[in-house]
């Protein structure tokens, strides 16, 4: 089961990516979600720091799935299929 903010459909990894990848501060992240408080953002980031490997693995799996779907879509647009391997998602 994926970790998420209780009472929402917001996954912890969404907040982690906003903060770690895009450099958005926790207060701004909370303002971006109608149903997520600043305390919940900090709790999600604390969870991430306690479970870094697990959360990063979920992010890599999602990114890999997205890439495979994008490759399939691109192949169908060209009239063919593609079996190209997805690029490695950095750790």
Total domains present in the chain: 1
With respect to residue 87, please indicate whether it lies within any of the assigned structural domains.
no
Q: How far is CA 25 from the centre of its chain?
A: 16
pLDDT exceeds 80 at position 88? no
Query: What is the rounded distance in angstroms from the CA atom of residue 30 to the CA atom of residue 83?
Result: 39
Residues 6+ apart with CB under 8 A from 36: 5, 8, 10, 15, 29, 30
The predicted-structure confidence for 1-20, as pLDDT tens digits, reads as follows 899 999 999 999 999 999 99
Instruction: Please write the tens of the pLDDT for every residue from 18-46.
Output: 999 999 999 999 999 999 999 999 999 99
The label of the residue with tokens 């604390």 reads 46
Residue 2 belongs to a domain: no
Q: What is the pLDDT of residue 78?
A: 80
pLDDT for 75 equals: 84
Q: Is residue 90 part of a domain?
A: no
Question: Has residue 41 been placed in a domain?
Answer: yes
- 82 in a structural domain: no
* Domain hosting residue 37, numbered range: 12-75
């Amino acid at each position: 089961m994926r970790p998420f903010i209780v009472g929402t459909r917001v996954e912890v990894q969404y907040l982690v990516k906003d903060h770690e990848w895009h450099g958005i501060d926790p207060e701004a992240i909370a303002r971006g979600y109608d149903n997520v408080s600043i305390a919940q953002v900090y709790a999600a980031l604390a969870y991430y720091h306690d479970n870094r490997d697990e959360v990063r693995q979920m992010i890599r799996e999602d990114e890999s799935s997205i890439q495979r779907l994008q490759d399939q879509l691109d192949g169908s647009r060209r009239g063919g299929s593609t079996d190209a391997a997805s690029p490695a998602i950095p750790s």
